[in-house]
């Protein structure tokens, strides 16, 4: 077992190779020296010039994707020649995305700068490479290979260098599942319907739409019309990466900052109680529900009252809404945001509480990616994991001082609540939040 593998043995993850060496064609001789030296140190290496690991006849992109996925680490060999290679960019992107896919959440990518003057490093490490740690050395140096091996053994958290996750991926699917799936397909205009149908048919075969697991997805061909008229293999698609973080940023910036902070949320609650002459307690946070399954009922009332009967027997009902907020900014021209007010009557003592609540809209996007769009590259288990990531990221992002300075403290007036709906239900989650609020006097206001 190699040093790199043995240092990670506790994680019980097996890979075909210890290292995949990425290089531009003109740097093959340099990379051969690196390959030979690392191999002599006990590492199992893969490289494009090695026909046993990079077989001829297979599409280049397919080989790169497979080697990145099946190697413990990926080293990008950077010389002055490397920036001329478009494949270096492809390999870098794949390695970064693969880092986010792995359950270890370790950065798999390493940069190896060969014979580069310190003053030239910023020029080489541009774009995607700027924040990635590097090892600068010369093959003429004594024990240069030990420096490389040490960099491979060092664990680096993905989140440290990729703080926003796959932001673009999240935005694309948020737009697709929202605009394309719910709006355009219902438009009467014929060309919009044609556009929607064309997108669906071009990227997805409905017979494959119920794929549940990554293994199935990797072994199944997603039939799609391409410029070459071929078949796209599922293992060659771009994995989804960390879309939860991007969805969370979008949810905060495009929605919550308008509905909560900018319009004095707690003050609006107090005025609501006064205008309605209500004496019940009103929870001072907006509760945003995220069930593990990412499946939402038609409404909070429907979800909370499942099995509770109808009419007066139902413990939760919608009573009103806070005055709507009109956003007139950017693409959101005169767009109204409405926050619904619900009332909960506790069966044990008849005590009444009001609260603002909704299912998290971002949850629907994640559900569509996992269940209806196999080409999105996300499994059911990954959907579960990223739902929890969204909740954690909400607290993390809201706690950043820069966010507080710009928008205010969302943690004071909003809470995303994640619950396992295979074991409990929305009503139990609501009751639990009310019990917690009763302990904190500032969490409930009265008229």
Tens digit of each residue's pLDDT (9 = 90 or more) over 53-93: 777 666 776 777 788 888 999 898 888 776 555 555 655 66
Q: Collapsing DSSP states into helix, strand and coil, what is residue 206?
A: helix
Clarify whether residues 263 and 150 are in a common domain: no
- Give the per-residue pLDDT at 323: 86
- Give the per-residue pLDDT at 332: 59
Averaged pLDDT, 235-250: 69
The C-alpha atoms of residue 141 and residue 9 are separated, in whole angstroms, by 30
Flag whether 181 is in a domain.
no
Clarify whether residues 271 and 413 are in a common domain: yes
Residues 324/338, Cβ–Cβ less than 8 Å: yes
Taken in order 325, 326, 328, 333, the sign of the CA dihedral is positive
Output the domain CATH number for residue 369.
3.40.50.12100
Q: Collapsing DSSP states into helix, strand and coil, what is residue 22?
A: strand
pLDDT tops 90 at residue 311: no
Output the domain CATH number for residue 8.
3.40.50.10140
pLDDT in tens, 347-366: 999 999 999 999 999 998 88
More confident call, 213 vs 268: 268
Residues of 367-390 as b/e, b for ≥16 C-beta within 10 angstroms?
Answer: bbbbbebbbbbbbbebbbbbbebb
Helix residue ranges, H only, 277-409: 300-304, 361-371, 380-399, 401-407
Q: How many CA atoms within 13 Å lie on the side-chain side of 318? A: 12
More confident call, 48 vs 308: 48
Clarify whether residues 141 and 260 are in a common domain: no
Of the three residues 161, 185, 206, the one that is the final residue of a domain is 161
- Give the per-residue pLDDT at 238: 44
Clarify whether residues 275 and 138 are in a common domain: no
pLDDT in tens, 105-115: 677 888 888 88
Clarify whether residues 7 and 142 are in a common domain: yes
The C-alpha atoms of residue 258 and residue 326 are separated, in whole angstroms, by 9
Flag whether 210 is in a domain.
no
Clarify whether residues 146 and 267 are in a common domain: no
Clarify whether residues 296 and 413 are in a common domain: yes
Range of the domain at 100: 3-161
Strand partners, 416: 288
- Give the per-residue pLDDT at 234: 39
Clarify whether residues 22 and 153 are in a common domain: yes
Which helix (DSSP H) or strand (DSSP E) does residue 99 occupy? helix 86-101
Flag whether 82 is in a domain.
yes
Q: Collapsing DSSP states into helix, strand and coil, what is residue 338?
A: coil
pLDDT in tens, 151-178: 898 887 765 655 555 555 566 666 556 5
The C-alpha atoms of residue 200 and residue 374 are separated, in whole angstroms, by 11
Mean of all residue pLDDT scores within the chain: 77
- Give the per-residue pLDDT at 326: 81
Residues of 401-435 as b/e, b for ≥16 C-beta within 10 angstroms?
Answer: eebeeebbebbbbbbbbbbebeeebbbebbbebbe
Clarify whether residues 251 and 155 are in a common domain: no
More confident call, 340 vs 262: 340
- Give the per-residue pLDDT at 160: 60
Flag whether 318 is in a domain.
yes
- Give the per-residue pLDDT at 379: 83
Clarify whether residues 260 and 119 are in a common domain: no
Q: How many residues make up the chain in this entry?
A: 447
Which helix (DSSP H) or strand (DSSP E) does residue 319 occupy? strand 316-321
Flag whether 222 is in a domain.
no
Q: Which of 32, 110, 119 is nearest to 78 (CA)?
A: 110
Strand partners, 327: 335
Which position has the token pair 């050395």?
137
- Give the per-residue pLDDT at 7: 52
The set of residues, in sequence order, having a beta carbon less than 8 Å from that of 232 and lying 6+ positions away, is: 221, 222, 223, 224, 226
Residues of 51-88 as b/e, b for ≥16 C-beta within 10 angstroms?
Answer: eebbeeeeeeeebbbbbbbebbbbbbbbbbbbbebebb
Flag whether 237 is in a domain.
no
Clarify whether residues 297 and 418 are in a common domain: yes
Averaged pLDDT, 25-51: 90
- Give the per-residue pLDDT at 387: 93
Flag whether 223 is in a domain.
no
Which position has the token pair 């910023």?
122
Of the three residues 129, 161, 193, the one that is the final residue of a domain is 161
Lowest mean pLDDT among 142-146, 167-171, 190-194, 298-302: 190-194
Of the three residues 146, 161, 176, the one that is the final residue of a domain is 161
pLDDT tops 90 at residue 294: yes
The percent of residues above 70 in pLDDT, for the chain, comes to 66
Flag whether 17 is in a domain.
yes
pLDDT in tens, 333-348: 677 888 999 999 999 9
Which helix (DSSP H) or strand (DSSP E) does residue 77 occupy? strand 71-78
Clarify whether residues 254 and 145 are in a common domain: no
Percent of the chain that is helix, strand, coil (3-state, to 5): 50, 20, 30
pLDDT in tens, 376-394: 767 888 899 999 999 999 9
pTM of the model: 0.58
DSSP code at position 417:
E
More confident call, 262 vs 270: 270
Domain count for the chain, please give it: 2
More confident call, 61 vs 317: 317
């Amino acid at each position: 077992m190699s040093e790199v593998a043995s240092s990670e043995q506790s994680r019980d993850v097996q890979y075909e190779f210890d290292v995949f060496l990425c290089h531009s064609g003109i740097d093959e001789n340099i990379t051969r020296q690196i390959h030979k030296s690392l191999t002599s140190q006990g590492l199992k290496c893969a490289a494009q010039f090695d026909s046993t690991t990079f077989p001829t006849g297979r599409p280049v992109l397919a080989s790169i994707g497979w080697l990145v996925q099946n190697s413990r680490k990926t080293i990008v060999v950077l010389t002055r020649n490397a920036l001329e290679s478009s494949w270096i960019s492809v390999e870098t992107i794949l390695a970064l995305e693969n880092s986010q896919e792995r359950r270890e959440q370790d950065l798999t990518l390493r940069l190896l700068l060969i014979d580069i003057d310190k003053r030239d490093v910023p020029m080489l490490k541009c774009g995607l490479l700027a924040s990635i740690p590097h090892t600068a050395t010369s093959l003429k140096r004594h024990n240069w290979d030990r420096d490389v091996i040490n960099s491979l053994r060092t664990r680096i958290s993905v989140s440290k260098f990729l703080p926003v996750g796959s932001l673009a991926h999240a935005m694309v699917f948020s737009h697709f599942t929202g605009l394309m799936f719910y709006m355009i397909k219902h438009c009467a205009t014929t060309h919009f319907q044609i556009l929607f149908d064309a997108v669906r048919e071009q990227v997805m075969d409905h017979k494959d739409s119920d794929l549940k697991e990554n293994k199935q997805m990797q072994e199944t061909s997603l039939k799609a019309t391409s410029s070459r008229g071929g078949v796209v293999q599922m293992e060659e698609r771009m994995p989804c990466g960390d879309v939860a973080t991007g969805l969370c940023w979008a949810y905060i910036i495009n929605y919550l900052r308008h509905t909560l902070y900018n319009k004095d949320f707690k003050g609006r609650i107090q005025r609501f109680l006064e205008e309605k002459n209500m004496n019940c307690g009103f929870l001072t946070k907006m509760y945003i529900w995220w069930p593990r399954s990412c499946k939402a009922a038609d409404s909070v009332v429907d979800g909370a009252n499942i099995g509770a009967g109808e009419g007066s027997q139902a413990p939760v009902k919608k009573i009103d809404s806070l005055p709507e907020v009109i956003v007139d900014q950017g693409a959101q021209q005169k767009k109204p945001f409405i926050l619904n007010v619900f009332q909960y009557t506790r069966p044990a003592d008849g005590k009444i509480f009001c609260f603002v609540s909704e299912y998290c809209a971002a949850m629907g996007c994640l559900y569509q990616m996992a269940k209806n769009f196999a080409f999105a590259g996300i499994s059911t288990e990954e959907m579960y994991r990223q739902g929890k990531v969204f909740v954690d990221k909400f607290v993390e992002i809201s706690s950043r001082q820069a966010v507080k300075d710009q928008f205010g403290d969302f943690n004071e007036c909003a809470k995303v609540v994640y619950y396992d709906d295979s074991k409990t239900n929305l009503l139990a989650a609501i009751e639990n939040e009310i019990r917690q609020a009763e302990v904190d006097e500032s969490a409930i206001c009265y008229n």
